[in-house]
Every structure is written in C-alpha cells, then in structure tokens.
Amino acid sequence: MFVVELAAQNSRDSLFMQQIADERLVDSTAEQRFDNAFYAAEALKNRSDFTAAIEGYRRCLAIDSTNAAAWFELSKMYSFVGNTDMSYRILLKAVKYAPRNDYYKEIQAAYCVSNKEYGKAIRIFERLSKANKSKTSYLYSLLKLYEAVGNDKKYIATIRKIETLNGISEETTIAKVNYFNKKNQPKKAIAEIDALIDKYPYNIDYKTFIAQYYLTIGDTAAALVQLDRLMNKYPNSGYVYMTFLQYYNAKNDQEQAKRCLAKIIDDTNIDISEKLDIFITHIDLLEKNEQHDKAKRFFHTLIDVYPKESSIYTLYGAYLIDLKDTVHAEDVLNTAVSLNPDDESSWSLLAQIYIANDSIDKLMKIADEAESLFPDNSTWAYYKVMGLIQQGKQAEAIALIDFYVDNLDSKQNGFKSLIIAIKGDFMLQDSLYTEAFACYERAIEYNPNNVIALNNYAYYLAVCNTDLAKAEKMSSKTIIAEPKNGTYIDTYAWILFRQGDLNGAKLHIERALLYGDDPDVLEHYGDILFKLGDEQKALEQWKKSKDKGNASPTLQKKLDHRRYIESPVKCK
C-alpha cells in the first residue's frame, strides 16, 4: 500500500509540475513573441518606415495591451506621420500603464501646451514638481505657464522656489525685473537688481544692470547718473562702456559711441564672445546707413586687435558675402578655417561662395575636407554627389551614391532617400525603368515622405501605364503634403487620365495651372481636352505648350495631325 500511495503522490506531483511548466512556457513564449514584435517595429522605425512601424507596435499591443513602452512608441509614430490627435490619445495609454514614468507625463504636458490647454499642463507640472522637489526644470516650465495665464502670485512664488534651490541668479533676477516692469513697479525691479549685486559684489557686469534698466524704460537721465557713478569707480571697465554705448546709441551720439567701442575693444578682461553681439549691432547700424567703408575699417580694427580670433574673420566673411565681394570673402574665410577648422559655419560660408560662383572643383575640395571633420552632417556628402553631377561625371556620382547608401547608418536615412532617388532619376535618363523604379522603392523605404521620389515614381508608373493604383496612392501623398505644387498636381491628373477618369483629370490639371503654366502641364491639358472631345481647345493648349518651349517631337505630331498621339516609351 505504501508503495502504491507514494506512486500516486508522485503522479499527482508530476501533473502539477507539468501544469506549472506549461504555464511558464506560455508566459515565456508570450514575452518572447512580444520582444520579437517590438524589435521588428523598432527596426521599421529606424528605417523611417513609420506606417509599417505603426502596424508593428499594434502587433506588440495585441500580445500585451498593457505595455507602456509599446503605447509610447506607437504614439511617436502617429506624431511622425502627422496625426497628432491620435498620437495624444495613445500617449494617454502610455501614461495610464506607466503612472510613475515622469517622461511620459512631460510629453503629455507638452501636448497640452501646444493645444493651449495651459490649465492641464499646469496641473501636470505641479504634480511632477511636487514629486521631484529638487528638479528646477519643472519649476521653469511652470514659470512660463503661469506667465501665459497671468497668474502673478504663483509666478513670483515659483521664482522664489527656484531661488531657494539655486540661490539668487541673473536668470531669476531678470525674470523678476521683467515682471515688475510689466506691473509698472520700477522700485521693486531695482530692489531685485540690488539684491543680485549684493550677492555678487565683485561682478562689474551686474553693477551696470540698474543703468541698463533705466535705459530700457526710457529714463536716460537716471541711467546717466548711474553710469557716472560707475565710471568714477571703474574708469577702465569695458562693461561700463558697454552700457554707455547703449546710452549714446539711444542719444544718437555717434562720436561718443565710437569712443565707447574703442574702450570695449581694448578691455582684454572681457572675453570676445561677450563682445560679438555688440560688434554685430554696430556693423548692422553702419550697414543700415550704407556706411560700408566704415564697416570695413571697423572689421580691420578688430582683426588688428584679434588677429587669431576666427569668429571675427567668419563674421567679416559673411559681411563681404552680403556685399557680393566673394573674392575677398574667400580669402577671409580661408583664414577663419585655418585658425579654427572645427567651426563649421566658416566651411558653410565658403561652400556658399563656391556654389554661387559655380566653382565646382573648389566646392568638391572643401566638401571632402569638411566631411572628414563633420561626418554627421550629410550636407557635405550631398555637395560631393551634386558636384560630380555638375561635372558630368555620372558614373562616379552613382558609385558615390551607392557607397553612401551602403555605408551610412540609419540616422542618415533621410539623406540616403534623397540620393538614391537621384540615382533613380539617372536611370530614367537612360530609359532603365526597372532599375529606376527599384531606386525609388528604396528611397521611399528610407523615407516614406520623400515627396520628390513619390512624385517621380508615380509619374513614370503612369507613363508606363502600369500599377496605376499604386501610382495614385503615392501621388495623393505628394499633393496632400504640398497642395500648391503644380508639378505634383499634374502628376495626379495624368494618373487619372491613364485610369480613364477624364473629368477628374481635367479638374486637377486646371488646378495645376493655377500655380504656373509649365509647358508639360499645358501639353497634358491638351491631351485631356482632346480625349473629352474638345479638339479646338486641345489644339490651343498644345500650341501654348510649344510656344513655352516644349520641343517634343510627339507634341509637334499632335499639332500636325490635330489629334492625340501616344508618346513612344519602351518601359523595361
């Protein structure tokens, strides 16, 4: 009996353990299926195929409808495709299933702000701030919201909270000064500036704030009193002269302003970065008065004082470009680049000169150098591709496009979409339609919203009279994105023409003509009118197309034979 009992017990235990194992297997399989679905959706997102990614995240949620991360990613995808209402509704699901995730709540608050639902946003940030008492970013967000809704009491209270955490600062002082100024309470504004000066008694820049405040409210007499006091105490301070410069500009006293500028330039205790805005303001004033010679002399003075400061050369180069003096601008900017190769703005200005002057060899050279310094900026790669195209080196351009498409990572999908579509255009020039369509497919895979690729692909599908439903779908995306683009509307009209919807084609081609009278659009208009039985008006449009420069042999045949003739296209 004992042995039998033991066997029965073991049998029951085995069944129990099997049941537990089966449940664990089911759970593990569900987790695994969710993970696989999530990683697949992430891959689609990283390829910028947002429509497919939406379906991918929905598959995740079919496995686990309470997974906040999947809801959040799905919300982002709807945002990327422009459906903000759906994005927001789905975001609320993420917030629901991850109630302790502050980041999700921050995004929710951002949606509320964009929808001008400031009350909701305030409530979210107030709760976040209460739960994270040491985090000032929430307090700064509340500060802006309280200002937007005019809640003065909470606005000031929030500044006090920030100061309790971080102490009195320039930022909080300016916020309070602006508040009291708006309330026409200058004494309170000055008291706040005094408190900042007391906190930082050795900061001369802060000591000029009161004079600056008086200038802001138009009380130049009071500003001068303050400035005279400072001048007596700090006779060589560039900061004092900076404020004096504001005073003399307000008085339109150019001689005294010039003297102040000289003092500011000479003060080596002030970093050049603090002076640049003043220099730019002065140059803008001279340019406004068309005193270009004075502006150039001023730049030469700055270069004499700061011969190794690349920012001065970059600023001067930009000024010379505005004057169309690209020869001197090129020299100045080359100096800037040699002094500081890491300042990309100088490289960009040089590229601007070479593009304007059609100096393709020089553009290619600096694009190659700049690309090695700034590999994350695909602009330089684009210049190299377009430079080869401009030089007529089609094979080299295609090889470079293939290199970039194969080697750049997914962060550059937008650029890859752009250049693979350019390759598609090349294929069409050689009537290689199959290869062109493959390029367009890849371009749209990398960026589903590449309207140029969508339009060109759709148009040539219509030219080949194939897959018209797909063509119409792609073309409709382009005219939704750019409803006033006559070229895109013409494509859509031509697809409708191919489908036999002549009335729809006529409606859209006439819309296209509202935005320009391109010869190809005029020819298409004539084709549609002829098929609708209006031969006379068709001939008029074909004639207009020819007069606009359309030299197509097929168009000439239409005019000669007074009828629609299909263009000979061998789609292969």
CA 319, CA 326: separation in Å to the nearest integer? 10
Q: How far is CA 350 from CA 284, 296, 378, in A?
A: 22, 19, 17
Cβ–Cβ under 8 Å, residues 461 and 439: no
DSSP string of 220-265?
Answer: HHHHHHHHHHHHHH-TT-HHHHHHHHHHHHHHT-HHHHHHHHHHHH
Cβ–Cβ under 8 Å, residues 350 and 331: no
Cβ–Cβ under 8 Å, residues 64 and 40: no
CA 291, CA 547: separation in Å to the nearest integer? 47
Provide the 8-state DSSP code for 168: S
Q: How far is CA 289 from CA 91, 232, 254, 302, 563, in A?
A: 54, 34, 12, 20, 62
CA 264, CA 84: separation in Å to the nearest integer? 50
Cβ–Cβ under 8 Å, residues 346 and 361: no
Cβ–Cβ under 8 Å, residues 456 and 425: yes
Provide the token pair at 291.
């005193």
Residue with tokens 């150039």, as numbered in its chain: 296
CA 492, CA 472: separation in Å to the nearest integer? 7
Can you list the pairs that 126-133 forms with residues at least 24 positions away whose Cβ atoms lie under 8 Å? 128/102, 131/102, 132/102
Residue with tokens 């430079």, as numbered in its chain: 387
Give exposure, 469-500, as e/b (b: 16+ Cβ within 10 Å). eebbebbebbbeeeeebbbbbbbbbbbbbbbe
DSSP-H helix ranges across 150-185: 152-166, 170-182
Residue with tokens 């008492």, as numbered in its chain: 133
Give exposure, 529-564, as e/b (b: 16+ Cβ within 10 Å). bbeeeeeeebbebbebbbeeebeeeebeebeeeeeb
Tally the residues of the chain: 572
Positive/negative CA dihedral, 445, 449, 455, 456: negative
CA 209, CA 178: separation in Å to the nearest integer? 12
Residue with tokens 């002082």, as numbered in its chain: 173
Provide the 8-state DSSP code for 267: -
CA 135, CA 259: separation in Å to the nearest integer? 46
- The closest of 533, 471, 538, 534 to 498, measured between CA atoms, is 471
Provide the 8-state DSSP code for 563: S
Provide the token pair at 413.
């999908």
Cα radius of gyration (the chain): 34
Provide the token pair at 68.
């906040």
pLDDT values of the chain reduced to their tens digit, one per residue, 572 residues: 223 333 334 444 454 444 544 444 444 577 888 988 898 999 888 887 888 889 999 999 999 999 999 999 999 998 888 888 899 999 999 999 999 999 999 999 998 998 889 999 999 999 999 889 888 899 989 989 998 898 888 988 998 898 888 888 888 898 888 888 888 888 999 898 989 999 998 888 888 898 888 888 888 898 899 889 989 988 888 899 999 988 888 888 888 988 999 999 988 888 898 899 989 988 998 888 888 999 999 999 999 999 999 999 999 999 999 999 999 999 999 999 999 999 999 999 999 999 999 999 999 999 999 999 999 999 999 999 999 999 999 999 999 999 999 999 888 999 999 999 999 999 998 889 999 999 999 999 999 999 999 999 999 999 999 999 999 999 999 999 999 999 999 999 999 999 999 999 999 999 999 998 899 999 999 999 999 999 999 999 999 999 999 999 999 999 999 999 988 888 86
Cβ–Cβ under 8 Å, residues 72 and 60: no
What is the pLDDT, as a whole number, of residue 1?
A: 28
> Hey, which bits of 4-159 come out as E strands?
none
Q: How far is CA 480 from CA 51, 82, 366, 459, in A?
A: 16, 11, 38, 16
Where residue 209 falls (left for φ over 0; alpha for ψ -120 to 50; beta otherwise) is: alpha
CA 134, CA 137: separation in Å to the nearest integer? 9
CA 247, CA 251: separation in Å to the nearest integer? 6
CA 175, CA 196: separation in Å to the nearest integer? 12
